[in-house]
Amino acid sequence: MPSDRHLQPVQLPIDWAPDSWRTRQALQMPVYPDAVALASVQDELGALPPLVTSWEILALKQQLAEAQEGKRFLLQGGDCAESFADCSPDIISNRLKVLLQMSLVLVHGMRLPVVRVGRFAGQYAKPRSADTETRDGVTLPSYRGDLVNGPAFTAEDRIPDPRRMLKAHARSAMTMNFTRSLIDGGFADLHHPEYWNLGWVGHSPLAEEYHRMVANLGDAVRFMETLSGAEVYNLNRVDFYTSHEALLLPYEEAFTRQVPRQWGWFNLSTHFPWIGMRTAALDGAHAEYFRGLRNPVAVKVGPSVTPDQLMRLIDLLNPDDEPGRLGLIHRMGDAHIAEKLPPLLDVVKREGRRVLWICDAMHGNTESTRNGYKTRRFERIRNEIEQAFDLHAAAGTRLGGVHLELTGEDVTECIGGARDLTEADLTRAYRSSVDPRLNYEQALEIAMAIARKQVSLTPAAR
Ligand code: PEP
Ligand code: CO
């Protein structure tokens, strides 16, 4: 168990309780027709085992604190939304493979340990721009993710059903269990990166570069083992943490618990919850709920956030300037980041506040094609990340991680990349019911671009 640097409460939030969010305006909440059923599901959830433990949460907090100091780099990625149907061994292991491959590329290129955080085992709720959807004169509640309702345009699917929370908890537990078993069984062993090979490796334009990195790393591992005369144990067992947008507060509340020999409250449904852009209001229910957690937490920061608002959010969520506590995930879009990000970096730097800056290069770059697909251009995603590195270097702050939507499947949802996917390709394998994801090859290419960019920065700016 890691030692906790904050053995004594930094400051127990007074006037906070796991349900104090109920006194604030909670945006993006479904309307459950049966309040009694909702309460009984919450009671049932509250008695079930949690998905993660407090010591894992504190270990991650420590690693995020190190990422703030430039000693690690965070890779946070996974689906836009998990679905119950996709809780399958192939999908889970392929996603793990691509995240492991990306982290290998980052470790190799950046010469830094990578903190791996999945967007999975709980990423089942989605914010929507409208509460209802109308088709052919019929109006039904919008689909809000499998945690809330079903995607089919029928009343049966769309009416929010609290029992879905029980199913989401079970699927999250299965996802965690399988992921942990794979890792414990040696799947993530750096001595055997061939375990992570995905079908494309033989014929991808990136294959050669990837294999070269794997061979180099393998040599380095063997060299270290020869020197130390022992196996490099920490390389055959990597840590994997989970995260999701903590959107549906009744679900999150049910997993907000106290544990023996620890002070305060933990959200034990995930290690690293975040607040989405649409629910990040300072006086809203989500900020109130997050304020009282001991988990490391993150907030999405969009182009409309002002320096003053950002400072007030930091004061609310991390009043004691605790290391590793707060991640700021900026998602500006490649066209706006150069204008919108620097004032935020400047104010945080000037006030001397400790945050982990993370770049989400997906959500500011979504567009619709003429043939009606929601897509993102690879070039714009890469461009936003590269600009982020430069803007942080210029401001004297540090980009400590990236946040990406990706899958280990061979989908065609984003345009561009090594195979130069076009609008016409989108019709071939577009499977996301929400946002378009990088496929495995595009994801790996982004990791290579990050590694190259980092190397090109001067040591002082890294
Ligand atoms: C998301 O991460 O899927 C999302 C909805 O992001 P944002 O809150 O940044 O729009
Ligand atoms: Co998304």
Q: Which of 82, 83, 245, 297 to mutate to test the pocket of ligand 1 (most atoms within 8 A of CB)?
A: 245
3 confidence band (pLDDT: 50, 70, 90): very low
Distance 8 CA to ligand 2 centre (A): 37
- Is the pTM higher than 0.95? The answer reads no
Distance 375 CA to ligand 1 centre (A): 14
For ligand 1, atom 9, the nearest C-alpha belongs to 277
State the CB neighbour count (10 A cutoff) for residue 449: 18
State the CB neighbour count (10 A cutoff) for residue 339: 10
Confidence check: pLDDT of 353 > 80: yes
Among the bound ligands, the one closest to the CA of 144? 1
Q: Which of 146, 274, 277 to mutate to test the pocket of ligand 1 (most atoms within 8 A of CB)?
A: 277
Give residue 209's pLDDT.
78
Distance 276 CA to ligand 1 centre (A): 5
Q: What are the pLDDT digits (tens) for 196-216?
A: 666 665 667 777 877 777 777
Confidence check: pLDDT of 7 > 90: no
Q: Which of 363, 365, 407 to mutate to test the pocket of ligand 1 (most atoms within 8 A of CB)?
A: 363
Give residue 201's pLDDT.
58
Q: Which atom of ligand 1 is nearest to the CA of 302?
A: 9
Confidence check: pLDDT of 462 > 60: no
Q: Which atom of ligand 1 is nearest to the CA of 276?
A: 8
Q: What percent of the chain is predicted at pLDDT more than 70?
A: 90
Among the bound ligands, the one closest to the CA of 361? 1
Q: Which of 27, 120, 360 to mutate to test the pocket of ligand 1 (most atoms within 8 A of CB)?
A: 360
Among the bound ligands, the one closest to the CA of 432? 2
From residue 152, alpha-carbon distances to 143, 144, 148, 196, 374 in Å are 8, 11, 13, 34, 18
Give residue 309's pLDDT.
98
Q: What are the pLDDT digits (tens) for 372-412?
A: 899 999 999 999 999 999 999 999 999 999 999 999 988 99
Q: What are the pLDDT digits (tens) for 63-94?
A: 999 999 999 999 999 999 999 999 999 999 99
Q: Which of 76, 124, 331, 402 to mutate to test the pocket of ligand 1 (most atoms within 8 A of CB)?
A: 331
For ligand 1, atom 10, the nearest C-alpha belongs to 277
Confidence check: pLDDT of 227 > 70: no
Give residue 226's pLDDT.
66
Average pLDDT over all residues of the chain: 91
Distance 151 CA to ligand 1 centre (A): 18
Q: Which atom of ligand 1 is nearest to the CA of 277?
A: 8
122 confidence band (pLDDT: 50, 70, 90): very high
Among the bound ligands, the one closest to the CA of 124? 1
Least confident of 2-11, 24-33, 176-185, 312-321: 2-11
For residues 110 and 454, the answer to whether their CB atoms sit within 8 Å is yes
Confidence check: pLDDT of 2 > 50: no
Distance 262 CA to ligand 2 centre (A): 34
Q: Count of residues for the chain?
A: 462
For ligand 1, atom 1, the nearest C-alpha belongs to 80
Spell out the domains of the chain, with CATH numbers in brackets.
Answer: 14-190+238-456 (3.20.20.70)
Token output for 309? 């608002």
Distance 361 CA to ligand 2 centre (A): 11
The residues lining ligand 1, judged by C-beta closer than 6 Å to any ligand atom, are 80, 127, 245, 276-278, 300, 331, 363, 435
Give residue 258's pLDDT.
97
